[in-house]
Amino acid sequence: MDQEEKPSAWETLEELVRSDKSEEAQDLLESLSPQQTTLAVSRMSEEGQAQLLSTLEPEVAADVMELLPESHAADILERLEPEAASQIVEELPEPDQTEILSNIDEHRVEAILAEMDPIDAESIRELREYGEDEVGRLMGTEFVAIYSTDTVAKVIDQFRSNHQLYSHFDVQYLYVLDSHNVLVGVVPLRTLLLSGHEQLVRDIMIKEPTRLRDDTTIDQADRAFEGNSLVALPIVGSLGEMLGVVLRSSVEEARSKRSDEDYLKAQGIIGGEELRQFPLFVRTHRRLSWLSLNIALSILSASVIAIFEDTLSSVIALAVFLPVISGIGGSAGYQAVAVSMRELALGLIEPREVLRVLRKEILVGFLNGLALGLLIALVALYWHGNPYLGMVVGVAMMVNNIIAVLVGGALPLVLRRIGKDPALASGPILTTITDMSGFFLALSLATLLLPLLK
């Protein structure tokens, strides 16, 4: 709260950077909590951020990068000189390297990689080849490889002499490879502690350890971590050769990132995330592209009303109920969409099981449609005293509710089957259908019963 009075951290930081006091800036930054750091750096000017990050020690700069949203970290990296950027990238954990670079323009990435140690750069290039949904993308390629014929004493020696090399990744398991680099066993660190120095690796290792192919999907990888307390799993190629290690937390993080993106897409924020420090043009443009599509669909469904303009002007009371019928249809449909999305994510349903969903939804739609239809019919009756008007809006509400849950329940499965993104496409398709059917049901029924409604 007192940040209101004295200059806030970001203002002080900006000031220090502008007056070239980079050491004081680094001291200030190190005194902030992670949360304060995120807030302070994100509020600085673009030039301030770039200047700050290029003067910090690369290690500290990398820590700051990890605290920022990926898209934002990528923006800053893009504005740095390739050499400064490459030094920071070298200090990031491997999965973060790939993720942040994936938000940067291709040419720029190559310029940054060109400044790096060629071996590190090559390894990043390889990870970048994996698809967004493949676990290979999330792996670290540094691990401790040992051989089944080694003694425990030799392994401990190897571990000691490579101490420096291993110190910046958190080793939990040692991986036992054969002469073709095929993974044949795993030795947890603590087993090493518990074993005699003369024992052979092959006698203490866990044989046939759980492993994941590099093209395993994130969801499958996530399930592989369920029901055990492993902190990491080895990743192998098609011949069983050891390629790297994926941490349980990287998989969890990737899943949680995807749910976040799905939420944003479902709410109409597409093309990656939007943060309010982004330039105005980027923000308006991205939002507008989504709204333009929606306005076109919305005009399409409203044109159903135009067809029945004569009916509507004879029974103007209907105008009040049209948005209620279409709106509640939309809400009921969204509920069904959410349940289907959830069941797909949990693996409780397969995309081809559309019939099962329809069977499960139709009764819910009928019962709730009946309740909501009765309710709105009573409101209409009470308001206008015409039982036929009540009947028209009640029946339209009920039938529209059934259509909504059937469409909403089936859409995510169908979209998934045809390879479209259900998080993105379900909403607009659903509301277009429920609007059209809601308007059509109410107005066509009214047209049929017109003499009774006037």
CB 97 within 8 A of CB 89: yes
Contact letters for a copy of itself, residues 32-71 (x by CB under 8 A): -xxx--xx--x-------------------xxx-xx-x--
Contact letters for a copy of itself, residues 162-191 (x by CB under 8 A): -x--x-xxxxx---------------xxx-
For residue 177, what are the β-bridge partners? 147, 183
| Sheet containing 232-236: order of strands | 212-213, 232-236, 242-247
Closer residue to a copy of itself (CB): 227 or 419: 227
∠ CA 237-242-248, rounded to 5°:
90
Kindly state whether residue 264 participates in binding a copy of itself, applying the rule CB under 8 A. Answer: yes
Smallest gap from Cβ 111 to a copy of itself, in A, equals 26
∠ CA 10-14-19, rounded to 5°:
150
First to last CA, the chain: 62
Closer residue to a copy of itself (CB): 114 or 348: 348
Kindly state whether residue 319 participates in binding a copy of itself, applying the rule CB under 8 A. Answer: yes
What burial letters (b/e) apply to 349-365, b meaning 16+ CB within 10 Å? Answer: beeeebeebbebbeebb
- Put residue 208 in one of left, alpha, beta given phi > 0 → left and psi -120 to 50 → alpha: left
SS3 235: strand
Kindly state whether residue 434 participates in binding a copy of itself, applying the rule CB under 8 A. Answer: no
Distance CA 177, CA 181 (A): 5
Closer residue to a copy of itself (CB): 185 or 365: 365
Contact letters for a copy of itself, residues 94-133 (x by CB under 8 A): ----------------------------------------
- Name the burial class of residue 51, with classes exposed (0-12), middle (13-18) and buried (19+) by CB atoms within 10 angstroms of its CB: buried
Smallest gap from Cβ 384 to a copy of itself, in A, equals 10
Report the site for a copy of itself in 367-396 (rule: CB under 8 A): 367-368, 371-372, 375-376, 379, 383
Choice from 53, 324, 403, 445 touching a copy of itself (CB under 8 A): 324
Tell me the residue type at 57: E
Distance CA 301, CA 298 (A): 5
Closer residue to a copy of itself (CB): 145 or 295: 295
Smallest gap from Cβ 305 to a copy of itself, in A, equals 5
Choice from 15, 18, 93, 421 touching a copy of itself (CB under 8 A): 93
Which of 380, 382, 336 is CA-nearest to residue 360?
336
Distance CA 167, CA 53 (A): 25
Smallest gap from Cβ 113 to a copy of itself, in A, equals 22
Report the site for a copy of itself in 266-295 (rule: CB under 8 A): 266-269, 273-277, 280, 283-284, 287-288, 290-292, 294-295
Kindly state whether residue 447 participates in binding a copy of itself, applying the rule CB under 8 A. Answer: no
Closer residue to a copy of itself (CB): 21 or 283: 283
Stretch that binds a copy of itself, among 80-88, 105-113, 120-128, 344-352 (CB under 8 A): 344-352
Closer residue to a copy of itself (CB): 6 or 163: 163
Choice from 331, 386, 444, 447 touching a copy of itself (CB under 8 A): 331
Closer residue to a copy of itself (CB): 375 or 448: 375
Chain-centroid distance, C-alpha 19: 39
Please work out the total of residues on this chain that contact a copy of itself, with binding judged by CB under 8 A. 124
Kindly state whether residue 31 participates in binding a copy of itself, applying the rule CB under 8 A. Answer: no
Residue 85: CB partners within 8 Å, gap ≥ 6? Answer: 77, 78, 112, 115
Distance CA 169, CA 150 (A): 23
Closer residue to a copy of itself (CB): 207 or 342: 342
Residue bearing tokens 């990926």:
70
Residue 193: CB partners within 8 Å, gap ≥ 6? Answer: none
Kindly state whether residue 253 participates in binding a copy of itself, applying the rule CB under 8 A. Answer: yes
Distance CA 297, CA 369 (A): 25
Contact letters for a copy of itself, residues 139-158 (x by CB under 8 A): -----------------x--
- DSSP annotation of 138 reads G
Kindly state whether residue 342 participates in binding a copy of itself, applying the rule CB under 8 A. Answer: yes
